[in-house]
Amino acid sequence: MASGSDRNPIIIGGLPSQVPDFDPEETQEWLDSLDAAVDERGRERARYLMLRLIERAREKRVAVPEMRSTDYVNTIATKDEPFFPGDEEIERKVLNATRWNAAVMVSRAQRPGIGVGGHIATFASSASLYDVGFNHFFRGKDDGRGGDQIFFQGHASPGIYARAFLLDRLSETQLDAFRQEKSKAPNGLSSYPHPRLMPDFWEFPTVSMGLGPLGAIYQARMNRYMEARGIADTSDSHVWAYLGDGEMDEPESLGQLSIAAREGLDNLTFVVNCNLQRLDGPVRGNGKVIQELESQFRGAGWNVIKLVWDRSWDPLLAQDRTGILVNKLNTTPDGQFQTYATETGAYIREHFFGDDPRLREMVKDMTDQQILHLGRGGHDHRKVYAAYAAAKAHKGQPTVILAQTVKGWTLGPNFEGRNATHQMKKLTAEDLKRFRDRLHIPIADKDLEDGNPPYYHPGRDSEEIQYMHDRRKGLGGYVPTRVVRAKPLELPGDKTYATAKKGSGQQSIATTMAFVRILKDLMRDKEIGKRFVLIAPDEYRTFGMDAFFPSAKIYNPLGQQYESVDRDLLLAYKESPTGQMLHDGISEAGCTASLIAAGSAYATHGEPLIPVYVFYSMFGFQRTGDQFWQMADQLARGFVLGATAGRTTLTGEGLQHADGHSQLLASTNPGCVSYDPAFGYEIAHIVKDGLRRMYGGTPEENEDVFYYLTVYNEPIQHPAEPADVDVEGILKGVYRYSTGEKGQIPAQIMASGVAVPWAVEAQRILADEWNVKADVWSATSWNELRREAVDVERYNLLHPEEEQRVPYVTRKLSGAQGPFVAVSDWMRSVPDQIARWVPGAYQSLGADGFGFADTRGAARRFFHIDAQSIVLAVLTELAKDGKIDRSVLKTAVDRYDLLDVASADPGAAGGDA
């Protein structure tokens, strides 16, 4: 690994424009030499010499400006290509069999009565890119370590299945169950890479475009983090991300390139399959996407390798002494190259070479067929191998390989380079025959004309299959493979949570701080303390987590090469190569990618990490919700803290920080266990149980879930844990927090999170002023209550002859008299989730609508969720039931001035945690 100064220069390149010329004579000699080269050998020769000088200057570490882009030719010169160690003929046979089976699998999935589709053109274009990786580079996990992490392009999954079939990892029955996961269970194959659906095969879900490249960057960084902290030896692990050129339009694809360069992640290689096509047409019809991407990656500090042309171009480029061919390649737009992929050799001769006599002269001795087969570099095994070898050898920077291919390559004229090829799933008999002949597959015509086309396997003892097995054994095992070999963690006992259970005494603290205090005690534990990975988007101080700076420190592979401005303070900002805290800047997407990489380390590297990602609640499920689905699909575990939660709690910040809906969004994610706790002791039990469920058992016992807790920035006094605390109720979602002591008319108030103190105040007012005896229930999780109830109803639906089960919320609330009023700092849809299972009249109050800047009291009065509004809601339900006279309702409205927002007590000042 390169040194810090090699990997992260502050100035990447530059010219000393303000430095005086100390030797004008020598300067003039250099300028005269350049003039002479131009005059005697021409501009192209002078340009070549300048480029070689710039290249040599970089080799000698002389600072010169980086070139934004280079000529539209291969970065690696033919003379610099390494020896190809494989048997190219056998690899061609292997690849042909893989191509055939991938296409046939998708075509068979379109058989009558099934019609589930699939995509074949993407793998057809990238097949060689994968094959070289499988045969020579991708490391497996047989040595007990993590091997390589490979982010396969989602639409290429049929090719990965097809190769696994040749290796007897998948059966023909399974190939025929492609995209039929339930109807053909247990043989069904997922449409794309989905670890949750195929947990022994796929490692990384990638088909949500843009998340693959983002995830790969942070996986490479997590590998370095784990090694730096002594948790796992990841020195031999390399991260490969296979991407599409159209996919690079997604902001997530390019948005975090700088962190990979800044941290010198030379354990990372992007392979961008530049087939010049999106789903419906060209990527840059009038431009050149490879050139554009080259400039973007170079500007971000990446090493760029362009793999544009196959070996058939080498003789032509060797005789291009004037640069006319290179100029033609530079100036031809992508849309035209796509057209050339669909046309004849005669067309290419006329339209590409025909407009200049020097170009025509170059190909005068070539047949139209030879011109037609001037190919793209991404289909040439030797060129691909050279690019991969150079990427692995490069130190100090991540590498991107920009490989030009043809979409639908080898599938025939109806597929290759056509705008509609991405959606074409069915090959006709004539397509199949042409395809078979192109690949030299020994299948008879009659087998292609009757029914479904057959798969092809050359035989387990054939040289091709033995070659495949030998290569994978030499590289450490089969990929993709997901293995969970992590050992159970020894979790801390009750003593660690004792402080939280004592309450806060006379001190008022926010639930955010209550959680941080628990986390601090957990991180002191000698067994699991080092496994916590703290993640925040530039807001540790906001959440009161700056106390961790001096001890845990912020991870930076370069350490801290400056004197911190607050170095004399107790809680000074401190960076370290072995730091425990990930400070990912103002990037929720980057933080969530770190969360996913850390949360799946138990499988990726066999070493559990416990990520704790704390963020402004509004910017969680709303902003990066797709990544939380990715997290669930990747079976990642950990804790997600939506801090400064609620619509009215961080009121000074206004609309964009007023989160009244993330709990509802969280409820849509089946892998998310969500809670809205009110007090420190509730948080203690939830965290303890979360650690047990996710980390405390064997691999078979641990659950593939993650925990989402919404915590607040409003200081309150936290009570001590009651002696008879209902732990089961806390974990399942509801328990009786306070029994009404005064009053005669029974009622029930259910509240969650920051609303529980409002409910307690409403309980007092109802007793003192309205003779109502209300119990207060802390609803720690509306979502978990609903989830359990839905499961019960599903069971009852399918088992009508068995004893019918009763949802937990119904059982828990049975016997509670009076109407139920539910309140929270969320929109009403959150508590409304349980309405049908509540055994009595039910009304919810919530903060529906947009947030705004004001005092907490005014905001709560506006939404009518404050204590006085709860009182009115309870009285209203009692009036409906005839237990009080309706006239008292107007009295209550007037008494509490509920129509005047300004009349509300402003409450504690808003602000940070």
Three-state DSSP string of 390-406: HHHHCCCCCEEEEEECC
How far apart (Å, rounded) are the C-alpha atoms in residues 202 and 186? Answer: 16
DSSP 648: S
How far apart (Å, rounded) are the C-alpha atoms in residues 613 and 592? Answer: 8
What pLDDT shows up at residue 280?
77
Query: Which residue in 671, 584, 708 sits closest to 255, CA to CA?
Result: 584
Residues β-bridged to residue 309: 376
Write the burial class of residue 887 (CB in 10 Å: 0-12 exposed, 13-18 middle, 19+ buried): exposed
3-class secondary structure for 43-62? Answer: HHHHHHHHHHHHHHHHHCCC
Radius of gyration of the chain (CA): 32
Instruction: Say if residue 16's pLDDT is above 60.
Output: no
Map tokens 């996986």 to a residue.
219
Convert the pLDDT of each residue in 304-360 to its tens digit.
Answer: 999 999 999 999 999 998 889 999 999 999 999 999 998 999 999 999 999 899 999
Pairing outcome for strands 772-778 and 735-738: antiparallel
Half-sphere exposure of 254 (CA within 13 A, CB side): 19
How far apart (Å, rounded) are the C-alpha atoms in residues 275 and 771? Answer: 76
Range 215-244 average pLDDT: 97
How far apart (Å, rounded) are the C-alpha atoms in residues 745 and 878? Answer: 9
Pairing outcome for strands 716-717 and 508-509: antiparallel
| Whole-number Cα distances in Å, 482 to 136, 478, 604, 687, 705 | 20, 10, 7, 27, 17
Q: Residue 313 corresponds to which tokens in the numbers above?
A: 């171009």
Convert the pLDDT of each residue in 587-639 to its tens digit.
Answer: 999 999 999 999 999 999 999 999 999 999 999 899 999 999 999 999 999 99
Q: Residue 511 corresponds to which tokens in the numbers above?
A: 């639930």
Residue 865 · residue 846 · CB < 8 Å = yes
CB neighbourhood size of 375 (10 A): 19
How far apart (Å, rounded) are the C-alpha atoms in residues 702 and 695? Answer: 6
Residues 6+ away with beta carbon under 8 Å from 114: 180
Residue 645 · residue 753 · CB < 8 Å = yes
Range 155-163 average pLDDT: 96
Convert the pLDDT of each residue in 17-30 to its tens digit.
Answer: 566 787 989 989 99
| Whole-number Cα distances in Å, 783 to 418, 624, 680, 730 | 48, 20, 20, 13
CB neighbourhood size of 804 (10 A): 12
State which amino acid sits at residue 291: Q
Convert the pLDDT of each residue in 266-306 to its tens digit.
Answer: 999 999 999 988 877 888 889 999 999 999 999 999 999 99
What pLDDT shows up at residue 828?
98
What pLDDT shows up at residue 912?
46
Q: Does 11 or 185 have the greater pLDDT score?
A: 185
Range 710-726 average pLDDT: 95
What pLDDT shows up at residue 168?
97
Residue 856 · residue 906 · CB < 8 Å = yes
| 3 state DSSP class of 150 | strand
How far apart (Å, rounded) are the C-alpha atoms in residues 714 and 699? Answer: 39
Residues 6+ away with beta carbon under 8 Å from 410: 99, 124, 416, 435, 438, 439
The torsion region of residue 753 among left (phi > 0), alpha (psi -120 to 50) and beta comes to left
What pLDDT shows up at residue 424?
64
Phi, then psi, of 790 in degrees rounded to 5:
-65, -40
Convert the pLDDT of each residue in 428-474 to its tens digit.
Answer: 888 899 989 999 999 999 999 877 899 999 999 999 999 999 999 99
Split at pLDDT 50, 70, 90, the class of 658 is: very high
Range 744-752 average pLDDT: 98
How far apart (Å, rounded) are the C-alpha atoms in residues 712 and 232? Answer: 35
DSSP 112: T
What pLDDT shows up at residue 415?
79
DSSP 540: T
Q: Residue 706 corresponds to which tokens in the numbers above?
A: 């993650």
CB neighbourhood size of 14 (10 A): 10
Residue 57 · residue 49 · CB < 8 Å = no
DSSP 353: I
Convert the pLDDT of each residue in 873-902 to its tens digit.
Answer: 999 999 999 999 999 999 999 999 999 999
Instruction: Say if residue 908's pLDDT is above 80.
Output: no
Q: Sheet of 532-536: strands edge to edge?
A: 575-576, 554-555, 581-583, 532-536, 610-616, 639-643, 706-710, 672-675
Split at pLDDT 50, 70, 90, the class of 411 is: confident
The per-residue pLDDT of the chain, averaged, comes to 93
Out of 489-498, 534-543, 808-817, which region has the weakest mean confidence (pLDDT)?
Answer: 534-543
Out of 249-253, 341-345, 406-410, which region has the weakest mean confidence (pLDDT)?
Answer: 406-410
Instruction: Say if residue 6's pLDDT is above 60.
Output: no
Convert the pLDDT of each residue in 81-127 to its tens digit.
Answer: 999 999 999 999 999 999 999 999 999 998 888 888 888 889 999 99
Residue 610 · residue 528 · CB < 8 Å = yes
What pLDDT shows up at residue 282?
86
Q: Where are the beta strands (DSSP E) in 331-455?
A: 399-404
How far apart (Å, rounded) are the C-alpha atoms in residues 88 and 596? Answer: 38
Range 519-530 average pLDDT: 96
Map tokens 């704390």 to a residue.
614
Percent of the chain with pLDDT over 90: 82
Instruction: Say if residue 128's pLDDT is above 80.
Output: yes
How far apart (Å, rounded) are the C-alpha atoms in residues 647 and 657? Answer: 8
Map tokens 């490249």 to a residue.
213
Q: Where are the beta strands (DSSP E) in 537-592?
A: 554-555, 575-576, 581-583
How far apart (Å, rounded) are the C-alpha atoms in residues 275 and 334? Answer: 9
What H or E segment, with its residue span, contains residue 315?
A: helix 314-318
- Measured on CA atoms in the order 578, 579, 585, 588, is the torsion positive or negative? positive
Instruction: Say if residue 3's pLDDT is above 70.
Output: no
Give me the DSSP letters along 176-204: TTBT-TTTTTTS-B-SS--TTTSTTT---
- Measured on CA atoms in the order 688, 691, 692, 694, is the torsion positive or negative? positive
- Helix, strand and coil content of the chain, in percent to the nearest 5, comes to 45, 10, 45
How wide is the angle at C-alpha 613 spanned by C-alphas 554 and 671, nearest 5°? 150
Instruction: Say if residue 913's pLDDT is above 60.
Output: no
What pLDDT shows up at residue 1?
36
Pairing outcome for strands 268-274 and 149-151: unpaired
Exposure b/e, 512-539, CB count within 10 A at least 16 = b: bbbbbbbbbbbbebeebbbbbbbbbbeb
What pLDDT shows up at residue 470?
98
What pLDDT shows up at residue 7?
52
Instruction: Say if residue 11's pLDDT is above 60.
Output: no
Convert the pLDDT of each residue in 760-801 to its tens digit.
Answer: 999 999 999 999 999 999 999 999 999 999 999 999 999 999
Exposure b/e, 465-486, CB count within 10 A at least 16 = b: bebbeebbeebbbbbbbbbbeb
- The whole-model pTM stands at 0.93
Split at pLDDT 50, 70, 90, the class of 10 is: very low
